[in-house]
Structure 1
Amino acid sequence: MIPDYLNNEFEKIISREYFSKKIHPVRKKAYRDLNEQGLPNKKWEDWRHTDLSIINYDKFRISEAQDAPPPKIDIAEYGLKSFHTIVFYNGHFQKDLSSIPNGIKLLSNLEYMEFKNWKVNQPKMSSFDLLNTAFMDSGMCLIIKKETNVKIPLRILFICSGNEEIMVSPRIHIDLEKSSSLNLVEQHVGKCNKYLYNGSIIINIEEKAKLEHIRIQNNSKSTINMGNLHIEQRTKSNYFFVQYAVGSQLGRINLFANLIGKGANCSLNGLSLSDNKQHLDAHVITNHKASHCESSQNFKFILKDRSTGVFNGRSIVQHGAVKTDSSQSNKNLLLSDNALMNSNPQLEIYTDDVKCSHGSSTGSLESDALFYIQSRGLDQKAATSLLVLGFASKIIEIIKNNEIKDYVTYHFDQWINQNN
């Protein structure tokens, strides 16, 4: 079952004259499927720890022309100044604020579908992917051409602004052709009230191509951030992902990596920081379909006050995916007696001759370690900050780009100082 207000919003988006009617059948099918499937609730196994009632009670409207940016906007305040940047403001692409590096071909979703003769691989559609498909803006596709090494990182900057209950549904395809490489930053920022971001990013990594993807979720703590991320990897491709999540009232990443080529490598990592009554959720699946592939999931949560966290990780090894090497690790630090963490790492193995492991731990700071550091002259606040930084540093340090690492470290230090 879906909220009634979505029916009115769907009629509005279908009637927009600047959207091509060629894409309407795709929208309508997605909306029919969404009506049949409904939005998740706590009776669904993968959603039993995440309460979505806010989406039913608050009436979100689609982003309109009036939600455009002001005449003068300076994206420099969001850091990462040396990067090429593609800007989305309240869900709408801002061409005048964006710069595209050489070696990347930019298409709208309609152009991309026509370029592919409408034979676009659609990921397994979750409820929020269906919601995205039904309400997507024109969206875009980035094609990194064969054997192209994009040297300067590319940032996709999502800015939310305003006090109204807005729903945005960006949809982005990223295709890396054979032996190409890209460093990508997906950054969510802005000050807004009751804002629902429901974005789908669909990534195809061809043979020997490499993608480093950093996702920074640092938007307002009164927003909902629902990130749907689908990756398909071919032979000897590499995908490296780090999420730094600190924003949103309710934030969830739905990440599905499909390893279909022999020798593919997939490294998925995350650091989530929550306080007050925040709820941050990471739902991560690696699906091994080919032999000699490697994958890792390494996610850490630091929780304070009455905040809650969820890690639901699964590694699936299909029949014939021999010589798979897959590991999962979820470690969580509670800085309050009222914070709550739900952890569920899982393995599904359907073949022999594989190496798979998983583990999870949740606890508070060790009193002996705090005492030892304080005995060296630090007060309790400084000692606590040092131990928390030590816990988080193994995720922060794997970020390879120094400018991104410095950005994350700066904001991490701010969070520690505000919450200690």
Structure 2
Amino acid sequence: MNISSFESEFNKIMRRDYFTSHVKPIREQAFNNFLEKGLPNKNWEDWRHTDLKPIKEIDFRLSEISDAPAHELDITEFGLDDVHTIVIYNGHYQENISSVPSGVRLISLADYGDQNAWKIREPNDSPFDLLNTAFMDSGFCLTIDKGIQIESPVRILYISSTEKNIMVSPRMYIDLGESSSITFIEQYEGNCNEYFLNGSLIVELKENSRMSHFRIQNNSVDTVNIGNIHVQQDSASHYTFNQFACGSRLGRLNLLADLNGKGAECFINGLTLTNNIQHIDNHIVTSHNAPFCTSSQYFRSVLQDRSSGVFNGRTIVSEGAEKTDSKQSNKNLLLSKGALMNSNPQLEIYADDVKCSHGSTTGALDQDALFYIRSRGLDIVSAKSLLIRAFVSEMIEPIHHENIKSYIISKFDAWLNENTVQ
């Protein structure tokens, strides 16, 4: 998608904008800033291992009313029982099959923008945050008031199903009041061809609040999925993130977490499965801006065929953030000679009296372990499957929500059955 195509689509959204007039200048400023920066290329340090050709080679267009479903959707095929679901289909909210539990206030993005125009400004000056602000077309704010504990998980289900080259730009806000809690699921599904989703999620956790966040990326392999997540944590707040990614031709997660209050905890985990020519890039930055905070980044990837991946994890310990406890670990399993993984865990420490560690390993299946298992009577495919399952299980087993765990296991099993080779 070249710049002139972006400009053409931007003019369309400005003509039909459903926000009030004070949001339009924010859109315009974001788009002008995007034009100045342009799309990232391999000369940018944080993008040097990721080729944006799947975006550049296709002229995507905005989603139209005609792209909404013609009949009521059946979402049972997307699993996850006993959750409240907000359904977005090709960028269009499906109110008739959406619900939120008691205690959660759901505010449309348009109403939220009218009430909080200053918050609509892009949370970061990265090109894809700017692009999201310029083109944001759907989304909500979920607000949980002080002291409210939401027992039932809340899921936002993004479904893409079309033969056309659609671009959608959802914007979500989650505001947790003091001592509140929620389990939140982002789930991306669909069988479309050449679909570009560029979403932004802004999370604010007040003192003593807790959020368990799952991101399931199961798009078709012709999809581009860019996820921009920004987390702000107050004192003694707790944020846990788990991503399971096996879909998309090109996937990029930009997750920035700021631990701004004393004793905040932030645990970021990810499991990626790729094959064919898929490329999944995880870019994580955790900033310790207060003392006595704890964080971890644990990511694992299994790569097959000519697929590739990136883990670029950074932990920043600011001046004055004493008693920081931070860990990073990235482990990657290459199932073919053509698979490629780039791993770059980083620490930036500007404070004394901290405990920080990081490590990375990338390699093929252990041949000695394979030989031992086969000597016990298993064939080569079963032996490989057993080792891959053991490698992956350390990321899945800690998940406490059984329905989510079962769904992820079912997707992993399907992937493993298709990708374990002789």
TM-score normalised by the chain length of structure 1: 0.98
Cα distance, 1:17 vs structure 2 = 5.4
| Counterpart in the other structure of 1:237 | 237
Structure 1 Cα separation of the partners of residues 192 and 117 of structure 2: 39
Cα distance, 1:99 vs structure 2 = 0.6
Aligned length: 420
Does the CA-based 8 Å contact 2:320-2:351 persist in structure 1?
Answer: yes
Cα distance, 1:113 vs structure 2 = 3.7
Q: Any runs of at least 4 consecutive aligned residues in structure 1 with deviations exceeding 6 A, and if so which?
A: none
Cα distance, 1:30 vs structure 2 = 0.4
Determine if the alignment matches structure 1 residue 390 to structure 2 residue 384: no
User: Aligned AA for 1:375?
Assistant: S
In structure 2, do the counterparts of structure 1 residues 26 and 11 end up closer, same or farther at CA, with 3 Å as the change threshold? Answer: same
Cα distance, 1:173 vs structure 2 = 0.5
In structure 2, do the counterparts of structure 1 residues 115 and 382 end up closer, same or farther at CA, with 3 Å as the change threshold? Answer: same
Deviations 1:21-74 (A, max 9, x none): 331111111001101111100000000000012222210001110110131310
Determine if the alignment matches structure 1 residue 373 to structure 2 residue 373: yes
Determine if the alignment matches structure 1 residue 152 to structure 2 residue 152: yes
Q: Say which SS state the counterpart of residue 134 (structure 1) adopts.
A: helix
User: Aligned AA for 1:180?
Assistant: S
Cα distance, 1:376 vs structure 2 = 1.3
| Counterpart in the other structure of 1:25 | 25
Identify the range of structure 1 (143-152 vs 52-61) with the bigger mean alpha-carbon deviation.
Answer: 52-61
| Counterpart in the other structure of 1:328 | 328
Structure 2 Cα separation of the partners of residues 363 and 188 of structure 1: 29
Determine if the alignment matches structure 1 residue 291 to structure 2 residue 291: yes
Cα distance, 1:281 vs structure 2 = 0.7
| Counterpart in the other structure of 2:215 | 215
Cα distance, 1:94 vs structure 2 = 1.3
Structure 1 Cα separation of the partners of residues 236 and 65 of structure 2: 44
Does the CA-based 8 Å contact 1:23-1:110 persist in structure 2?
Answer: no
Aligned-residue Cα RMSD (Å) equals 1.3
Structure 2 Cα separation of the partners of residues 17 and 185 of structure 1: 28
Q: Say which SS state the counterpart of residue 271 (structure 1) adopts.
A: strand
Query: Mind listing any 5+ residue stretches in structure 1 that lack a counterpart?
Result: none
Structure 2 Cα separation of the partners of residues 182 and 155 of structure 1: 11
Determine if the alignment matches structure 1 residue 249 to structure 2 residue 249: yes
Q: Say which SS state the counterpart of residue 192 (structure 1) adopts.
A: coil
Deviations 1:217-254 (A, max 9, x none): 00100110000011000000000000000000001100
TM-score normalised by the chain length of structure 2: 0.97
| Counterpart in the other structure of 1:98 | 98
**How does 1:223-372 map onto structure 2 within 5 Å?**
223-372=223-372
Deviations 1:332-357 (A, max 9, x none): 00000110000000000111111101
| Counterpart in the other structure of 2:40 | 40
Cα distance, 1:402 vs structure 2 = 0.3
Cα distance, 1:116 vs structure 2 = 3.9
Cα distance, 1:109 vs structure 2 = 2.5
Cα distance, 1:408 vs structure 2 = 0.4
Identify the range of structure 1 (70-79 vs 169-178) with the bigger mean alpha-carbon deviation.
Answer: 70-79
Identify the range of structure 1 (369-378 vs 109-118) with the bigger mean alpha-carbon deviation.
Answer: 109-118
Cα distance, 1:117 vs structure 2 = 6.6
Structure 2 Cα separation of the partners of residues 199 and 241 of structure 1: 17
Identify the range of structure 1 (9-18 vs 264-273) with the bigger mean alpha-carbon deviation.
Answer: 9-18
Deviations 1:82-128 (A, max 9, x none): 11000111112111110111111111223224444735685222100
Query: Mind listing any 5+ residue stretches in structure 2 that lack a counterpart?
Result: none
Structure 2 Cα separation of the partners of residues 72 and 401 of structure 1: 29
User: Aligned AA for 2:5?
Assistant: Y
Structure 1 Cα separation of the partners of residues 125 and 102 of structure 2: 33
User: Aligned AA for 1:229?
Assistant: I
Structure 2 Cα separation of the partners of residues 68 and 172 of structure 1: 20
Does the CA-based 8 Å contact 2:301-2:332 persist in structure 1?
Answer: yes
Structure 1 Cα separation of the partners of residues 103 and 170 of structure 2: 23
**How does 1:186-197 map onto structure 2 within 5 Å?**
186-197=186-197
Structure 2 Cα separation of the partners of residues 19 and 59 of structure 1: 25
Cα distance, 1:81 vs structure 2 = 2.4
User: Aligned AA for 2:36?
Assistant: E
In structure 2, do the counterparts of structure 1 residues 368 and 261 end up closer, same or farther at CA, with 3 Å as the change threshold? Answer: same
Q: Say which SS state the counterpart of residue 399 (structure 1) adopts.
A: coil
Deviations 1:172-231 (A, max 9, x none): 010011000000111000000000010000000100000000100001001100000110
Identify the range of structure 1 (122-131 vs 38-47) with the bigger mean alpha-carbon deviation.
Answer: 122-131
Does the CA-based 8 Å contact 1:2-1:38 persist in structure 2?
Answer: no
Does the CA-based 8 Å contact 1:19-1:138 persist in structure 2?
Answer: no
Cα distance, 1:410 vs structure 2 = 0.8
Does the CA-based 8 Å contact 1:2-1:35 persist in structure 2?
Answer: no
Does the CA-based 8 Å contact 2:121-2:133 persist in structure 1?
Answer: no
In structure 2, do the counterparts of structure 1 residues 119 and 183 end up closer, same or farther at CA, with 3 Å as the change threshold? Answer: closer
Identify the range of structure 1 (25-34 vs 122-131) with the bigger mean alpha-carbon deviation.
Answer: 122-131
Q: Say which SS state the counterpart of residue 105 (structure 1) adopts.
A: strand
| Counterpart in the other structure of 1:77 | 77
